[in-house]
């Protein structure tokens, strides 16, 4: 068999951290215009990371670049840590944005704006989200599955879809979030529930006491085809930011989230609201650091 000599630029980036191995890794493949969907999926399956992105020329003249996002099993129209990680990789490679300090990413949900903030972090504007509260029976089944962890029903659990659908559940505090474990029976019940409401999994979050390193602790558990806990999840944090506003629970104009603690990671997500613009966009930011830089051959 003759091996292909085609090579493209490749980076593996750790997202929502400035320290390698503490965030959520992402594989970024450059110059992917001539790759088929099947080849992209095969590469994503091989990298075996939660997501792999492929950078292509944009089809919309307003965009700086186009990205396709793949898990090991499927393509996603949007995801948060791949959005920040791809932007980091592209800028580090020497790309000059069309408008300094901003980027426009074209992806499955359309155009996603990114901006460089005063603290030098990059942030993306959360896409619009659809919010669907659970009915009484679904809330009861959810509470039974998570017991003895206590749900804070002052913020009712909701399915939130911004391109990646999640079931968001507020717990009484951060300690309960970190202590949560799922028995096989609970996992089975939750898997059935998330399938019923059309989400990929559950997002549990709880407030920290004052003086803690973050406003909220958050965990994302995928249920179904992938039964894993995601280290740090941009789409889930974007969904939470929108839901907090909708439920009147927004903690001011900015707040922070710690995620990945239960996995030995130290992800940090910064959320800021901009009420001056139409639609009061939510900005989801964080650091990224390159861990692997080289070429990919196939």
The 10s digit of each residue's pLDDT in 190-209 is 999 999 999 999 999 999 99
Catalytic residue among 51, 106, 217, 266: 51
Average pLDDT on 63-90 reads 97
The band of 119, judged by pLDDT with boundaries at 50, 70 and 90, is confident
Say what the pLDDT of residue 211 is: 78
The band of 6, judged by pLDDT with boundaries at 50, 70 and 90, is confident
> Same topology for domains 8-126+286-297 and 130-279, yes or no?
yes
Q: Which of 181, 207, 235, 214 is nearest to 24 (CA)?
A: 235
pTM score of the predicted model? 0.94
Does residue 92 carry a catalytic annotation? no
Q: Is 174 strand, coil or helix?
A: helix
Cα angle 212, 216, 219; round to 5: 125
Average pLDDT on 68-77 reads 95
The band of 1, judged by pLDDT with boundaries at 50, 70 and 90, is very low
Q: Going by C-beta distance under 8 Å and a sequence separation of 6 or more, which residues neighbour residue 164?
A: 76, 77, 78, 79, 80, 200, 235, 236, 239
Range with lowest mean pLDDT among 168-177, 220-229, 247-256: 220-229
**Tens-digit pLDDT profile for residues 266-278:** 999 999 999 875 6
For 44, phi and psi rounded to 5 degrees? -60, -35
Say what the pLDDT of residue 77 is: 96
DSSP 8-state class, residue 17: -
8-126+286-297, superfamily in CATH? Diaminopimelate Epimerase; Chain A, domain 1 (3.10.310.10)
Pick the CATH number of 130-279 from 1.10.800.10, 3.40.50.1820, 3.40.640.10, 3.10.310.10: 3.10.310.10
Q: Which of 293, 296, 297, 298 is nearest to 90 (CA)?
A: 293
What are the boundaries of each domain within the chain? 8-126+286-297, 130-279
């Amino acid at each position: 068999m003759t091996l292909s000599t085609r090579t493209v630029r490749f980076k593996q980036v750790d997202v929502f951290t400035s320290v390698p191995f503490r965030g959520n890794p992402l594989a970024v493949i450059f110059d992917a215009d001539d790759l088929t969907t099947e080849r992209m999926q095969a590469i994503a399956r091989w990298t075996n990371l939660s997501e792999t992105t492929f950078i292509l020329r944009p089809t919309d003249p307003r965009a700086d670049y186009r990205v396709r996002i793949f898990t090991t099993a499927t393509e996603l129209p949007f995801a948060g840590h791949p959005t920040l990680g791809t932007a980091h990789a592209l800028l580090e490679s020497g790309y000059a944005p069309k408008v300094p300090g901003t980027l426009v990413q074209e992806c499955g949900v359309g155009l996603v704006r990114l901006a460089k903030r005063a603290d030098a972090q990059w942030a993306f504007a959360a896409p619009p989200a659809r919010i669907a509260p659970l009915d009484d029976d679904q809330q009861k089944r959810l509470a039974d599955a998570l017991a003895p962890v206590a749900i804070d029903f002052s913020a009712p659990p909701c399915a939130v879809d911004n391109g990646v659908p999640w079931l968001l559940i507020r717990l009484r505090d951060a300690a309960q979030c970190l202590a949560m474990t799922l028995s096989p029976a609970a996992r089975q019940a939750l898997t059935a529930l998330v399938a019923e409401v059309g989400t990929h999994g559950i997002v549990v979050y709880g407030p920290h006491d004052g003086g803690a390193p973050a406003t909220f602790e958050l965990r994302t558990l995928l249920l179904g085809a992938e039964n894993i806990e995601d280290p740090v999840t941009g789409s889930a944090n974007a969904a939470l930011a929108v839901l907090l506003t909708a439920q009147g629970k927004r903690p001011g104009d900015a707040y922070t989230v710690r995620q990945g603690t239960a996995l030995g990671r130290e992800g940090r997500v910064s959320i800021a609201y901009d009420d001056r613009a139409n639609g009061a966009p939510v900005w989801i930011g964080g650091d990224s650091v390159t861990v692997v830089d080289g070429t990919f051959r196939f």
